[in-house]
Structure 1
Amino acid sequence: MTWKHVWEVWGEWEIRVLVLSSLTLQVFLLFAGGLRKRVAEWWLRMPLWLAYLLADYIAIYALGNLSQNQRLCGGSRDGEMHILVFWAPFLILHLGGQDTITAFAVEDNELWLRHFLSLVSQVVLAGYVYWKSRPGVRLMVPAVVMFLAGVTKYGERTLALRAASMGSLRSSMLTPPDPGPNYAKFVEECQSRTDAGLVAKIVIVPERPPDDDVHVEVKREAYGDLVYNAHRFFHTFRRLFVDLILSFQDRIDSLAFFRKLEMDQAFKVVEIELVLMYESLHSKSLVIHGWLGRGVRVFTLAAPVVSLVLFTRAAGDRRDYAPVDVSISYVLLGGAIFLEFYAILLMVISPWTYADLRARERLRPAAEVVFWLIKSFQPEARPRWSNLMSQYNLISYCLKDNPRWYKGLMEWLEWKWNFRVKTMWDSWRYTKKIPVSEQLKRLIFEQLKSKANSTMDPKSYRKLGEHRGQWALQRKGLYQQLGWSVDCEFDESILLWHIATDLCFYANHKNISDPLAAMSREISNYMLFLLVMRPFMMTASIGQIRFGDTCAEAKNFFRRAEEIEDEEGCADRLRDVDTSIAEPRDVKGDRSKSVLFQACKLARQLLELERATEDKRWRLVASVWVEMLCYASGKCSGNAHARQLSQGGELLTVVWLLMAHFGVGDQYRVESGHARAKLVVDT
């Protein structure tokens, strides 16, 4: 077989391979597109990214191939020519994408105008293909039906991208301008009464005070109520993702609901809200979850069914269609019906549909059927996100990152040419993921609930979100002694407490099996991961510089002792350093930002705490870490939180939204409604 023959065979089969490949990619995108909201692994993201890009490229290339095919100019095989042209609408349909994934990343939504131009150009191209081939009436009718369905789907995708762009999302959440009470008229009336010799005074009638009863009975809510209220709160709290603010009434409503929830159910409501936000940003949910969108979905299902019936009649009357092309046409029609049917099923078992039906009393029976399906496919115990937290440990990294020639090459590329290969290598080699424990969730929940119950004053609950260890230390009466470690820059506090936590962890062999000590170390490793690998989610700082300098000093220190073989040995070696002889900062100066021996000083202070048992010490350390976690989540921008939803979610984002529901932080800027000022005139 010569290359010429291979090339001829490929020319004969090229368009067939392209359309089947396009269908295969759409099936993969439909099933895998929604998985990444709860799967954080690279083995899903990489194939999904390739499929997302290739799906459009292949469909567009296939349409171009059809327009350039010389057989369209006429010939003895008109039947074969016409059936190939019949495939063009399916390519338009595939360009419309799947309901589960319209955007791979949030940045893709900003390219909605490019997709609109692509829609226009591809529709014109498909029309040109039909005009050039002029298929018979029997084949033209099913082709036109599929063409209309394809244009509808492609337009739907473009509208979904536009609706999910940050500018459109933000503008859709803005409230109408509110001038408030007429101040000028009020003052004029007051002045006129005074000028008339009357005694006029202004009396301020306070608004209804918020419900500050912190002794709310905790009870377990029905799963259906959780889903419904999550959908209700989502329409309010989604404003945080576009950096808009909330009102005091939003805080009152949310706090009244979350105070009575058990820990796991509070997290479940937040999870469902984040799923709804993910679907708003990365799927067609904003377009299809409405009566118009659902009606369009019925049409896009009916179109391939009608086309299948019409095509069966047309193919049965003609004998000049190639059997393989007829088979491929049936595969395309069957694939279109399957994709639309499955998309409708996903749309039905969605919190969007359940909430819409439940809100209408006459549709309650339908809502119960939908909820039964939701419970079957998405039970309450099943996590709606990855439920994982990444771990990155400084001592472990410094111990294992030995000099190698290839690492030297990667570092040269990184520092000389800004190719972040060494950073990517470190992320892959030294990062691991662990499940978020129920004990950690409970500690976060209880601390936030305690802070929410401690005050109802707006300035106070804003200030609570600014604490990053101070509140925990003050409650234990240790702020005077340890406050220096949390009053410095935030990235410095993270590194200080990270190293100190490790040194305390290995100080007693019993800590290795202590759940509270293990949990403290898990939060510590997670916060370091965010500082080093997710700096865009942290406050602006020199955290990566400080981490690099600290690692450099740690590596030099460890290499001086060749007998060190594990992390425990490194920790023992660091604890042996007597930092009381001289202040580390005084000796090192400020050029190097390393905090290695400052952390040793902190660890020594923690280990020497008077009257502190192991359990009390670790309760303090865990409380400080949870407070740091909450502070970091509150300072991360809404856009950065939104970016992480497509990578399995981030614990930082879950905590951020839970903080907002408990009213802790600076998300609430509208502290009261319209003042109730009355003009009282004494006659």
Structure 2
Amino acid sequence: MLGVVGLLVLVLLGSYRRQSSRGAVRMITWVAYATCIPMVSYTTGLMQSSPCKNSLFSVWAICLFHILQSTDSLSAYSLKDNDNWKMSQFQQLIPCFWLGWLMGFAWDSDFWFPLSTVFYIALLKAGSRVPSLMSASRRYKLCESTKWVADYMSYEHDLSPTDERNPVTMGAYRYVVSGEDKLKQRKVEPPEYVVKYIEDDRAKLVTVEQIWRCQGSLLRGNGGRAGRLKDVCLSMALSKMLNRRFAGFQTLAESNLDKTHNFLFRGLLHGNSYCERAFRVIEVELAFVHDCFYTKYPLIYGTAHHVFVVLSFAMVPLCGWLAYNLIHAFKRNWDALITFLFVIVIALVEGLQVCIYLASAWCKVALVSNYVVRDSWNSREWVAKLIGCITSLNFFRSWEDKLGQYTLLKYFHYKPINFLHRVTFCLVDKTERGHKEGERVRLSMDVKEAVMETLKRSNGELTNGVTSLQANGVLQSLSSPCTNLATTTHTIMAWHIATTLCEVHDPVPRYQPSEEQQRHMETTNRHVACRLSNYCAYLVAFAPELLPDHSFVSQSIFDALVDEATQLLKGVKTLEQRCEKLREMGAAIEQDDNRLIMLGARLGNQLILGIDDPSLRWKVLCDFWAEMMLYIAPSNDATAHLEFLPRGGEFITHLWALLTHGGILERTPVPPHNI
């Protein structure tokens, strides 16, 4: 029973966990993942040593072994599991040995044939887990499997004439979608020592340019279903390019090309609904990346004729056949009835996995790629309709699509009990003082549009908020410490405190019906500024690895700031009272007090007293935080972003990937007084 429950947990949460940041989801998934192998090994060994030999032992053993190997939506819980693929292979050998021995109990039974067929399919599916771990291991095959992308992108821009480049129609953008597994391995040649494929080999590749040029009815046009299918294929191509950063290829050959810059600023950020489309492409791209490192899907869809999909299809009728024979062979036998139910549940789970296959973006890419290269497909209307029906299936959204929130002046006094940390012998992480996450909020389109509009205006020149302050004409009215701080963490937390003071000071605006447009703008700016301010503070407190500063530097600054707030605001209960007292202290204490909390208080006073118009004040804050989000997004620590993908994903990771594809790998150097 526990095995079947574990299988259901792994199948469902394996696909769901990237859409949830909840600690309970991670804990349940980890428990199911960690206990499956020991449970199967122990139980099969117990069956072997039992003095009473039951003919159903072989069926139970097959069910347990199948539970262990059949979960395709979760091959690795963490990145370390990929590097420990040898241990995983060794752990599989023990139940395989006992399973072969227990199969002898059913040799002369009526259900031998369906059981043996299920056994062989389970063995074949068992062989898929270790290769999927190996392919995602940076110590083993990840670098080898991404090296060809790095080499290909070093000369991809020379494959087409310059005048054919069009980031809207994807002309001359030969980013590879599929087909690389069909190419022959070629030797590197001097002087570059990169793999260069000849024309015949490149003809086997399916590229973004080919898909956009396909005239079949399935892909005709750039809107509606056709546009979405094209964008899914574009996401696949971009994910293969992004995987180079996870493999350690920090130098991207195409990053300095105008073609790459234009792809982002004249392609993805082009059109009326560019914001929605850009984030949709990046969201699906990161879903592909997640699957490459944590699931079996790359191996399943990279196998010729998708043999593992066929095996899952076959398991459904085979389990039904086995269940039918069990009932007839053991009438009025409670053990057989329970076994019958287990087999039925396994059949249902396999059917669920088949549905997940068909609804996945991997299936969409596989079908569209075949549609493009096969004239017999793209010339027939019924094929287009069939593929259209299959690709219309959607089970899960890509990500949680929420922003973490933290307000320092609200939660600095939080003192965790850490009961679970103690009773689980440190298996549950310890919560530090002041670390209480606020309620996560939906990532609204207003926030996305504010950041994307700032990106378009910047044209890739990222600064730490100074540009927005200059554009709004308020830079000179603010004292230099507002931007002249030692680290990015200093700047984030000072402006976060100031934004909190402004939020408490300014009541929700009320306008006359004739002033609806002004009300909407101020409300939107206020919403964006507060959401991004609290999100950046959340990153400092809970995800410092994703910020430009060293994570320990950010943690040290945050802990010191919690101590300062505790000392200065001791005994003050409500957020409103704390903000009022902090403003009073910021106005009274000397200007040479360089405590970070006082810098934030003085900045808040400058924003409130120096900018009389609340509408302008919130526009200044909105523009500042949108610019700051882009400024902190570039990072060379790709592993940190990868580790957050199974936890619901982070908004900063989406921006990081988006900037990467525009060739923006680092921040624009700024004068020392603006650092």
TM range (shorter): 0.7 to 0.9
* 2:464–2:627 Cα contact (<8 Å) kept: yes
Partner residue of 1:153 out of 113, 125, 145 = 125
Counterpart of 2:409 in structure 1 is 395
Aligned-partner residue type, residue 472 of structure 2: K
Which secondary structure does the structure 2 equivalent of 1:583 belong to? coil
Q: Which range moved further: 550-559 or 151-160? A: 550-559
- Cα distance in 2 between the residues matched to 1:288 and 1:385: 22
* 1:505–1:511 Cα contact (<8 Å) kept: no
- Cα distance in 2 between the residues matched to 1:94 and 1:506: 54
Q: Does 1:141 align with 2:149?
A: no
Q: Describe the shift of the 1:157–1:516 C-alpha distance in structure 2 as closer, same or farther (beyond 3 A).
A: same
Q: Matches of residues 91-240 of structure 1 in structure 2 within 5 Å?
A: 91-130=64-103, 133=105, 135-136=107-108, 138-167=110-139, 168-175=141-148, 208=162, 222-240=227-245
Counterpart of 1:516 in structure 2 is 525
Counterpart of 1:200 in structure 2 is none
1:611-657 deviations in Å (ceiling 9; x for gaps): x6322222222222122222222126211111111111111112212
Which secondary structure does the structure 2 equivalent of 1:71 belong to? coil
Q: Describe the shift of the 1:309–1:430 C-alpha distance in structure 2 as closer, same or farther (beyond 3 A).
A: closer
Q: Matches of residues 50-89 of structure 1 in structure 2 within 5 Å?
A: 50-72=31-53, 81-89=54-62
Structure with the greater alpha carbon radius of gyration: 1
Counterpart of 2:400 in structure 1 is 386
Superposed CA RMSD:
3.6
- Cα distance in 2 between the residues matched to 1:160 and 1:266: 30
Which secondary structure does the structure 2 equivalent of 1:234 belong to? helix
Deviation at 1:274, TM superposition (A): 1.5
Which secondary structure does the structure 2 equivalent of 1:584 belong to? coil
Q: Matches of residues 309-324 of structure 1 in structure 2 within 5 Å?
A: 309=321, 312=324, 316=328, 323-324=333-334
Q: Matches of residues 543-622 of structure 1 in structure 2 within 5 Å?
A: 543-559=554-570, 564-577=572-585, 579=587, 582-585=590-593, 594-609=595-610, 613-622=613-622
- Cα distance in 2 between the residues matched to 1:55 and 1:40: 23
* 1:473–1:479 Cα contact (<8 Å) kept: yes
Partner residue of 1:266 out of 270, 275, 278 = 278
Q: Which structure 2 segments of 5+ residues have no match? A: 155-159, 171-221, 511-521, 669-675
Q: Does 1:341 align with 2:337?
A: no
Deviation at 1:439, TM superposition (A): 1.0
Counterpart of 1:356 in structure 2 is 366
Counterpart of 1:43 in structure 2 is 24
Counterpart of 1:431 in structure 2 is 438
Which secondary structure does the structure 1 equivalent of 2:605 belong to? helix
* 1:495–1:528 Cα contact (<8 Å) kept: yes
- Cα distance in 2 between the residues matched to 1:418 and 1:341: 35
Q: Does 1:633 align with 2:633?
A: yes
Q: Describe the shift of the 1:371–1:615 C-alpha distance in structure 2 as closer, same or farther (beyond 3 A).
A: farther
* 1:387–1:436 Cα contact (<8 Å) kept: yes
Which secondary structure does the structure 1 equivalent of 2:403 belong to? strand
Counterpart of 1:369 in structure 2 is 386
- Cα distance in 2 between the residues matched to 1:220 and 1:517: 33
Q: Describe the shift of the 1:642–1:210 C-alpha distance in structure 2 as closer, same or farther (beyond 3 A).
A: farther
Partner residue of 2:14 out of 9, 18, 33 = 33
* 2:167–2:263 Cα contact (<8 Å) kept: no
Aligned-partner residue type, residue 411 of structure 2: Y
Deviation at 1:172, TM superposition (A): 0.9
Counterpart of 2:488 in structure 1 is 490
- Cα distance in 2 between the residues matched to 1:62 and 1:422: 37
Aligned-partner residue type, residue 557 of structure 2: R
Q: Describe the shift of the 1:503–1:96 C-alpha distance in structure 2 as closer, same or farther (beyond 3 A).
A: same
1:60-92 deviations in Å (ceiling 9; x for gaps): 2211111111224xxxxxxxx222223322222
Counterpart of 1:191 in structure 2 is none
Q: Does 1:283 align with 2:295?
A: yes
* 1:90–1:146 Cα contact (<8 Å) kept: no
Deviation at 1:212, TM superposition (A): 9.8
- Cα distance in 2 between the residues matched to 1:635 and 1:483: 26
The percentage of aligned residue pairs carrying the same residue is: 19
- Cα distance in 2 between the residues matched to 1:179 and 1:519: 40
What is the TM-score with the length of structure 2 in the denominator?
0.76
Deviation at 1:603, TM superposition (A): 2.0
Q: Describe the shift of the 1:484–1:128 C-alpha distance in structure 2 as closer, same or farther (beyond 3 A).
A: same
Aligned-partner residue type, residue 86 of structure 1: V
Partner residue of 2:340 out of 319, 330, 341 = 330
1:267-292 deviations in Å (ceiling 9; x for gaps): 11111112122222221111111353
Counterpart of 1:642 in structure 2 is 642
- Cα distance in 1 between the residues matched to 2:7 and 2:443: 33
- Cα distance in 1 between the residues matched to 2:152 and 2:297: 34
- Cα distance in 2 between the residues matched to 1:600 and 1:654: 32
- Cα distance in 1 between the residues matched to 2:427 and 2:645: 27
- Cα distance in 1 between the residues matched to 2:648 and 2:532: 18
- Cα distance in 2 between the residues matched to 1:647 and 1:87: 34
What is the TM-score with the length of structure 1 in the denominator?
0.75
* 1:93–1:150 Cα contact (<8 Å) kept: yes
- Cα distance in 2 between the residues matched to 1:170 and 1:267: 27
* 1:524–1:625 Cα contact (<8 Å) kept: yes
* 2:18–2:646 Cα contact (<8 Å) kept: yes
Deviation at 1:242, TM superposition (A): 3.4
- Cα distance in 2 between the residues matched to 1:147 and 1:134: 12
Deviation at 1:444, TM superposition (A): 0.8
Aligned-partner residue type, residue 515 of structure 1: T
* 1:102–1:157 Cα contact (<8 Å) kept: yes
Aligned-partner residue type, residue 235 of structure 1: K
Q: Describe the shift of the 1:159–1:179 C-alpha distance in structure 2 as closer, same or farther (beyond 3 A).
A: closer
- Larger relative CO (CA 8 A, sep 6+): 1 or 2? 1
Counterpart of 1:189 in structure 2 is none
- Cα distance in 2 between the residues matched to 1:532 and 1:340: 41
Larger helix percent: 1
Deviation at 1:568, TM superposition (A): 1.8
- Cα distance in 2 between the residues matched to 1:25 and 1:55: 7
- Cα distance in 1 between the residues matched to 2:279 and 2:584: 42
Q: Describe the shift of the 1:350–1:376 C-alpha distance in structure 2 as closer, same or farther (beyond 3 A).
A: closer
Deviation at 1:546, TM superposition (A): 2.1
* 1:354–1:371 Cα contact (<8 Å) kept: no
Counterpart of 1:442 in structure 2 is 449
Q: Describe the shift of the 1:293–1:372 C-alpha distance in structure 2 as closer, same or farther (beyond 3 A).
A: same
Aligned-partner residue type, residue 366 of structure 2: D
- Cα distance in 1 between the residues matched to 2:490 and 2:630: 16
Q: Describe the shift of the 1:366–1:50 C-alpha distance in structure 2 as closer, same or farther (beyond 3 A).
A: farther
- Cα distance in 2 between the residues matched to 1:636 and 1:179: 22
- Cα distance in 2 between the residues matched to 1:367 and 1:170: 37
- Cα distance in 1 between the residues matched to 2:645 and 2:239: 15
Q: Describe the shift of the 1:160–1:601 C-alpha distance in structure 2 as closer, same or farther (beyond 3 A).
A: same
